[in-house]
Structure 1
Amino acid sequence: MPTPTKSPSPAAAPTATTPATAVRSAPPAAPARGGNTVLLAVIALCTAVTAANIYLAAPLLGLIARDFGAAPSAAGWIASVAQLGYAIGLLAFAPLGDTADRRRLVAVLSAVAGAALVAAALAPGLPALAAAVLVACAATVVPQLLVPLVAERAPADRRGRHVAAVVAGLFTGIVAARVLGSLAGQAYGWRAVFFGAAALTVAIGLLTAVMLPAETRPRRAAQPLKAIAGLPGLLRASAELRAACLRQAGLFGAWSSLWTTLALLLTADEPFHMSTATAGLFGLFGLVSTVVAPVSGSLIDRFGSNRVVIASYVLTAASLPLFWLGGHRLWALCTAAVLIHAGLMAGQVANQTRALASTGTPAAANTAYVVTAFVGGASASALAGPAYAHWGWNGVCAIAAAAVAVGWVGSALVGAKR
């Protein structure tokens, strides 16, 4: 992680005491810059395609409910199942990036996700669809296997930019799932969207697996349960990792609480009364993330991650009063959407770069980081729905403000360096 006092690259950093967690790429020498650029582009594309699967069902819930003759509320839990599947996959597979052959793991997970997406497209009812979505999203953890690899192989003075490129791909995939998924579903039906996602997932996943560098590790069986059991100890041992986890949980919690309930505000009779399709176009504000990511990476490489994290919190905090005002003013809502996406992306790149360099087991550290951020986002989202029902948009803004405060204060309490 680039900081004002630069740390050595992961390749040179001390590794865990057991040889099973050592990460060494073969050949040891870095490939030519042209090869790095092509590989980085393919990894970013793979990240976008696979991350989109987590949010694929969300914009299609109305079409799914209509097809199965169910109420929209009855299909709403499919989106929650997708997030549950992703959480399961993070715990089960992401820590294996430190010990398993990532090429084989990426290929297998891509094939499993593709098969599950096909099963989802052919599902005869909601229970079968939910089961297929659960499996597909559990296998959609490929991005979290690739981010540590990129951080390991990047030169120390460009690590932030390389991580930013992959993170930008992830957020681009989320935007594409919400915007393009809804448009394609309206034109061709929700089943066609799942078929298309299956084809893309398998194609880009296998291409990525073929292009990944060969890795040499001591032969041993993968032990996911042991890897999961080691996560609490990893967090206890590293204040830097704990700080990165808590700060990103706060940022993601604020974003999730506001973004998951925004459609309710926009489609309500007062004050905006937008159609579902028009409200869905608000997802395009997520493209701000794609622009901010490379800028954040460059700033991290130049000034260190701490300053970028502080800037991300300033941007997010500045968006909150605008979101509150946006309950009645559309211009304020649009401005706030730009600021919170910029803050979320800057924090994501900085905190993830920090987490990856905090230990000698980057895949395990990345798992702890992503799971913590996911829990923060899911918890805030769960609270935002009831808050909107009882107190309206003001209640949602209060949840977002609380998430920001908890993230920042919590990270300070665990002994993080400011």
Structure 2
Amino acid sequence: MTFATGVIIANNYYAQPLEAALAAEFDAPSSAVGAVLTIIQLSYALGLATLVPLGDLLERRRLVVTTLGVTVAGLVVVAAAPTLPVLAAAAGFVGLTTVVAQVLVPFAAEIARDGEQGKVVSTVMSGLLIGILISRAVAGLVAEVFGWRAVFVLGAVLTAVAAVALWRSLPVVPQTTTMSYPSLLRSVLTLIREEPVLRLRMAYGASVYASFGALWTSIGFLLAAPPFSFGDAAIGLFALFGVAGALAARFAGGLADRGWAHRATGAFMAVAAASFAVFALGAHSLVALAVSLVVFDFGVQGSHISNQSVVFALRPEARSRVNTAYMTMYFLGGATGSGLSAVLYASHGWAAVCWIGAAFPAAGLLAWVVESVHRRRTRTVTAAPSTS
């Protein structure tokens, strides 16, 4: 499951280090290529809202493998796309169907032993995070040697291999509900309404991932332009500095199993926001970009694992739907940050991207402070002796 989530999610990130190559291939401005990346994020959010809940309604192994067949077909069309609109449409289908990675994550939590959910989820998520990082490096290297279209051919082959492996190895677990599909979708809204902790974690996740989308939508253009003038391979390899995110996943999972998820969330969001002070120096310093990327990915992924560890414990019988609510807002945040970044970079440059990148997790941190004060007051009132 860890291997498969990495392979599947990589398909959403192959295009990020190839922005300059795609712009040159289709004679398109940076904003148009940035829009393609935004479409992928929005499609992924749509899939989270409409496909991931099926993990509670259908037999998961069959659902995962069938959906991955559509992913493979979409990747083939991306590789052969004659125009940017065709590429964008096919990439949208890829983004829509790669949400099966988010069916596997709550599936892993369900089959984990009691007291080890945080560890198991963080293990599967570390595979997903490493897949994101490797996807950028592989995309850059393959594009440098064989051209950008070969990147998506490779993605199609790896996804097909993952589908076969999952079919052969996943256990068959009965569905957890028999309600109709419309009722299933409505129940997601019911969960959001009834679970205030879920609403808070959705806000935290969206704020941090918005900064992630803002950063990665524009950093490829920054590295391709002077004074760096990186090629596709160098841009992809530069993303490996974000390996700290995978380390943060395991660390955050351990903290969650010890009951420290709340404090860890605030700390990780503060780290993500603070990293942009160093990112701002990166317009002319490769060292500053590398250092800030390590710190930033540590904060982003640590907060994400902390959030997931909390929300999966809320309703064990509805983990896919809980994950739908959380991850839909998460990727809507990413799409928002990506769209704003594309516009701001084209009009105001890297400094504007850094400002908006810092503002999102700072807003999440402010909400966390308010929650912390409320929790402290609630504990004080509960602990106070009665005077009646």
TM-score bracket, normalised by the shorter chain, equals: 0.7 to 0.9
Report the Cα distance in structure 2 between the residues aligned to 1:254 and 1:341, rounded to whole angstroms.
10
Counterpart amino acid of 2:229? Answer: M
Report the Cα distance in structure 2 between the residues aligned to 1:59 and 1:367, rounded to whole angstroms.
28
Q: CA deviation at 1:219?
A: 8.4
> 2:113 pairs with 155, 159, 179, which one?
155
Question: 1:238 and 2:182 equivalent?
Answer: no
Report the Cα distance in structure 1 between the residues aligned to 2:53 and 2:128, rounded to whole angstroms.
19
Following superposition of structure 1 onto structure 2, how do residues 17-416 of structure 1 map, counting pairs within 5 Å? 43-64=1-22, 66-67=24-25, 70-71=27-28, 73=30, 75-217=33-175, 220=178, 223=181, 225-269=182-226, 272-277=227-232, 278-359=234-315, 360-411=317-368
SS, match of residue 202 in structure 1? helix
Please identify runs of 4+ aligned residues in structure 1 that moved more than 6 A.
none
Computed over aligned residues only, the root mean square deviation of the Cα atoms, in angstroms, reads: 2.5
Report the Cα distance in structure 2 between the residues aligned to 1:218 and 1:318, rounded to whole angstroms.
42
Report the Cα distance in structure 2 between the residues aligned to 1:87 and 1:397, rounded to whole angstroms.
24
TM-score, normalised to structure 1, is 0.81
Report the Cα distance in structure 1 between the residues aligned to 2:58 and 2:178, rounded to whole angstroms.
8
Instruction: Say whether the 8 Å CA contact 1:61–1:72 is kept in structure 2.
Output: no
Counterpart amino acid of 2:230? Answer: S
1:157-209 Cα offsets, whole Å, 9 max, x none, are 22111111111111112112211112112212233222221121122123113
Q: CA deviation at 1:264?
A: 3.5
- CA 1:361–1:83 in 2, change beyond 3 Å: closer, same or farther? same
Instruction: Say whether the 8 Å CA contact 1:240–1:417 is kept in structure 2.
Output: no
- CA 1:123–1:344 in 2, change beyond 3 Å: closer, same or farther? same
Counterpart amino acid of 1:51? Answer: I
Report the Cα distance in structure 2 between the residues aligned to 1:260 and 1:80, rounded to whole angstroms.
8
Report the Cα distance in structure 2 between the residues aligned to 1:232 and 1:391, rounded to whole angstroms.
38
Counterpart amino acid of 1:172? Answer: I
Instruction: Say whether the 8 Å CA contact 1:251–1:344 is kept in structure 2.
Output: yes
- Gap regions ≥5 residues in structure 2: 377-388
Report the Cα distance in structure 1 between the residues aligned to 2:176 and 2:184, rounded to whole angstroms.
16
Q: CA deviation at 1:358?
A: 1.8
- CA 1:66–1:376 in 2, change beyond 3 Å: closer, same or farther? closer
1:77-119 Cα offsets, whole Å, 9 max, x none, are 4323322321221112101111111011011011111122223
Q: CA deviation at 1:230?
A: 2.9
Report the Cα distance in structure 2 between the residues aligned to 1:333 and 1:340, rounded to whole angstroms.
10
Report the Cα distance in structure 2 between the residues aligned to 1:214 and 1:371, rounded to whole angstroms.
26
Counterpart amino acid of 2:340? Answer: L
TM-score, normalised to structure 2, is 0.87
> 1 or 2, which has the higher helix percentage?
2
Q: CA deviation at 1:125?
A: 3.2
Report what 1:27 is aligned to.
none
Residues paired across the two proteins, number: 372
Q: Percent identity?
A: 36
Question: Which deviates more, 113-122 or 386-395?
Answer: 386-395
- Gap regions ≥5 residues in structure 1: 1-42
